[in-house]
Amino acid sequence: MALTGLQIYKLLPQTNCKQCGFPTCLAFAMKLAAKQAELAACPYVSEASKAQLEAAAQPPVRLITVATGDRKAQAGNEIVLFRHEKTFYNRAPIFVRVKDTDADLAATAKTINEFAVDYVGIKLMIDGLAIENASGDAGKFAAAVEAVRGATNFPLILIAKDVAAFEAALAKANGATPMLYAADASNWQAMAAVAKKFKAPLAVKADGLDALATLTEQIKGAGVEDLVLDPGARDFLGTLTLATQIRRLAIKKNFRALGYPIITFPGEGAGSAGEEPSLAAQQIGKYAGFVVLDTFTPASAYALLVLRQNIYTDPQKPIQVQPGLYEINNPKPESPVLVTTNFSITYFSISNEVEGAGLPAWLLVADAEGMSVLTAWAAGKFDADRIAKAVKTTGVEGKISNKRLVLPGAVAVLMGEVEEALAGWKIEVGPREAVDVPAFLKFKA
């Protein structure tokens, strides 16, 4: 269970030395309980107390990593039920299931691996493949793993019923750390032994939370700590109910037996292939750790990746692009310079409108800490000094012959100040809306 401030205080040296930056050990303990300070700030805490405090401070949902080389798929380390309370940390990895009976697995793996979505400057991709031993043949399963490993560096989930199949497949994994699916009441000892041998995460499957908690404790007792939960439900209501209960028990009650990411298979619960994306979307929001799709299409993958990105974006930090000078449609030295902030939606709104109209322009993106134009101006983060700094640091003056700078229409009030800060520049005020920028540029051309 999470410790209170007073419980933490009893484990501290109680010297009130102030070296932690707080006036008393009690004040430091209260900050530790509120997760507003780090234990490392105390130089005198004993090793025994440190071990106890660090164990109590572990995130209620354990971090699980499935990796192949440098490419990782991670889930867990979550500490809240709702993203607005703080944020969600590790976005649910999306895997696609293939079978060892499928024709040309290498080509399929390459096709899925090459799929990518450019979303407000962020590259979104499928995170891995789940390979199922549908043939029941250990040799064929191993060959399938070898084929996929030769074609991509996808993180893997291995699905089989026979422990011998896992042994054969893991021998061909070439240094990858896949997840093994799944241990249940009938085979958990053998599965735990394989997972421990290869240091691989192990999925645990049981019907109902009591059976699942009992099984995870047994497997932990066998020496396997990295576990993923499958509570057995597959339908919309069942997965929503059990996933929410597991998350609440882990977060609110710090119930360690269920403090692991959840794995879901929306294709098994959907009434038709068309329902799979809808069920997957529900599971990404509430509260899947790993999502394994049975059907891959660019359209459904695009929707799920964008949805996941929005859910797992920190609500307290705006999405932003790198400040700097961007070229649109191969601008010439006489092309105008448009100014905006580094809020991603603002940037893409302007760049897409100008690019779509086929007009050449320079887009100068000032650092406004990721805020939109009006918000940044109101907060004092987008003013004449910042615009002038952007002009001077990006070297735009050396690339143009016509010193023409176009301000966003929403901050026309800055025109005079920018003229003073940028002597020799012609300052103009553009439209308030991005959609009107092409017409403005054509009129001014």
Residues 6+ away with beta carbon under 8 Å from 398: none
Helix and strand numbers, DSSP H then E, in the chain: 17, 17
Highest mean pLDDT among 46-55, 113-122, 135-144: 135-144
Query: Torsion over CA of 209, 215, 218 and 223, rounded to 10 degrees?
Result: -110
pLDDT digits (tens, 9 = 90+) for 153-187: 999 999 999 999 999 999 999 889 999 999 999 99
pLDDT digits (tens, 9 = 90+) for 234-263: 999 999 999 999 999 999 988 999 999 999
Model's pTM, two decimal places? 0.79
Return the higher-pLDDT residue of 350 and 2: 350
Dist. CA 295–CA 184, nearest whole Å = 26
Residue 349 has pLDDT above 60, yes or no: yes
Query: Which residue intervals of the chain bear CATH 3.20.20.20?
Result: 64-311
Q: Which fold has domain 324-444?
A: Rossmann fold (3.40.50)
Residue 207 has pLDDT above 80, yes or no: yes
Query: Which residue intervals of the chain bear CATH 1.10.15.40?
Result: 5-56
Confidence of residue 4 (pLDDT cuts 50, 70, 90): confident
Architecture of domain 64-311: Alpha-Beta Barrel (3.20)
Q: Are 328 and 352 in contact (CB under 8 A)?
A: no
Homologous superfamily of the 5-56 domain (CATH): Electron transport complex subunit B, putative Fe-S cluster (1.10.15.40)
Residue that has been written with the tokens 């057995």 in this structure: 232
Indicate the residue type of 197: K
The predicted model gives 189-194 an average pLDDT of 97
Return the higher-pLDDT residue of 378 and 52: 378
> What are 123's two structure tokens?
């590259």
> Which pLDDT belongs to residue 2?
63
Buried b (16+ CB within 10 A) or exposed e, 284-322: bbbbbbbbbbbbbeeebbebbbeebbebebeeeebbbbe
End-to-end CA distance of the chain: 67
